[in-house]
Structure 1
Amino acid sequence: MTTQIASRDAVRVILADDHDAVRSGIRDALDPCVDIAVVAEAADGDELLALAGSTRPDVALVDIALPGVDGLEATRRLVESGRGTLRVVILSVQGADASILGALQNGAAGFVLKSAGATEMELAVRAAARGENFLCPSIARKVIGAYLEHVDTRDDGTRRLTDRQRQVLELVAKGHTTKRIAQRLKISVKTVEAHRGELMRRLDVRNIAGLVQQAVRMGLLTL
């Protein structure tokens, strides 16, 4: 639909949504970020796939309900194309369990509600550009809450999490970097790294996406 020129070092973003107002809102939210540039906009899945090939974005913000090739299928194709380091963040009106799982299973790096504010949208783009996963806080809280509730009912004491580990997990889910978590909790970066390592070992996952998938397998999220 549209393409723009970005500075050499900016994170290149493509927007895909069939509503002009939604694209405009996201563009306005990201516009103040001098190191993030919206280089293209698409109104359907076919246009997204075509523009992604010609504009070579770093991050794609994709409506899950795109007309034509839908957002989940478009995500799968973009990820499987092996095109550089492109990362996809799914946009949705609501955080249904099946939608979250479908997004992650198709290779999405993140999931954000369309009602998200400018700061949250920026965090999602930056996390994806760094190669990290991002779930909007409301979804992350739901998943983590269900998971921790299950963990606390187990008899195996080694599966229980300390209060500090819970805090670290919640901040990781919100997209905070290790340095930022250390600042928030007033502990050293090395301590945060140690907590993250132990946390992932105890939960037997590598990242928040893995946590969601395990929560589904455990029946905490229903499809």
Structure 2
Amino acid sequence: MTDILIADDEPLIRTGLRAIIDAEPDLTVAGEAADGAEVLPMVRSVRPDIVLMDVRMPAVDGIQATRTILDAVPEPPRILVITTFENDDYVYEALRAGASGFLLKRARPPEILQAIRTVALSDSLLFPAAIRGLAARHAAGREADRVRRARLTEREEQVLTLMARGLSNAEIAADLVVSVETVKTHVGNVLAKLGARDRTQAVIAAYESGFVQPL
């Protein structure tokens, strides 16, 4: 069972998300927060696997709430940012702060559920095309030496490039003609060397260093 905390200042959004999530046998809503300031105490209380975090809230926004959770909680949940516009500057800053992906408020219920499950599994990148677009606008030159300093092997560089294209572990394995377990090992090494919490953070680093160029 995947436990989810919903953080959004709009009651209708929280109610709608709860109805969609609680209808699934493998997902459940563990709690709700109406502002970013409420999220950390609730995370500590209910220990969710995923937080659906509204990026814009009146007192503490989703970016700051994400940073606070990742700094304060030893084994933090994955953060899935909820936003109205995918090209919102706040979305990219939330991803840089440590969010694992984002979800559009206008998304249909099957898309919402797919996004939650993708982030829960963490073996592929959520909305790679949109992240590439955000990177093209925001990433250039921010961390130019990060990938070089990580001293990735040639195979790890190949894996990072394919991760940035949005390929899942299975797809990377097929592309490189290796086993999925081998890919998982390489992905783990890439994350460790880059100091990235998950593949989204590794891909952001790849774009910001110029290692991967947005299309």
- TM-based fold match above 0.5: yes
1:139 aligns to 2:130 (yes or no): yes
The 3-state SS of whatever aligns with 1:66 is: coil
- 1:211 matches 2:200: no
Q: Deviations over 1:103-159 (max 9, x none)?
A: 12211111222222223322332233334564335514636899xxxxxxxxxxxxx
Q: 1:25 to 1:220 in 2, by over 3 A?
A: farther
Q: How far 1:62 moved relative to its partner?
A: 0.2
Give the direction of change, closer, same or farther, for the CA distance of 1:211–1:62 in structure 2 (3 Å limit): same
1:123 pairs with 107, 114, 117, which one? 114
Correspondences of 1:1-223 after superposition (within 5 Å): 10-96=1-87, 98-132=89-123, 134-136=125-127, 139-140=130-131, 142=133, 170-172=165-167, 176=168, 178-179=169-170, 181=171, 190=179, 207-218=199-210
In structure 1, runs of 5+ residues without a counterpart are 1-9, 147-164
Structure showing greater radius of gyration is: 1
Q: How many residues are matched? A: 188
Q: Which runs of 5+ in 2 are unaligned?
A: 138-159
Query: What is the deviation of 1:80?
Result: 1.1
> How many Å separate the matches in 2 of 1:210 and 1:168?
8
Indicate how the Cα distance of structure 1 residues 143 and 134 shifts in structure 2: closer, same or farther if over 3 A, else same: same
Which range moved further: 206-215 or 12-21?
Answer: 206-215
Percent identical pairs in the alignment equals 26
CA distance in 2 between counterparts of 1:187 and 1:215 reads 22
Contact 1:42–1:51, Cα closer than 8 Å, also in 2: yes
Provide the C-alpha distance between the structure 1 equivalents of 2:39 and 2:186, rounded to a whole number of angstroms. Answer: 37
State TM-score, norm by structure 1. 0.64
The structure, 1 or 2, with the larger RCO (C-alpha pairs under 8 Å, 6+ apart) is: 2
Whether the aligned pair in 2 keeps the contact of 1:133 and 1:209 (CA below 8 Å) is no
Q: CA RMSD in A?
A: 4.0
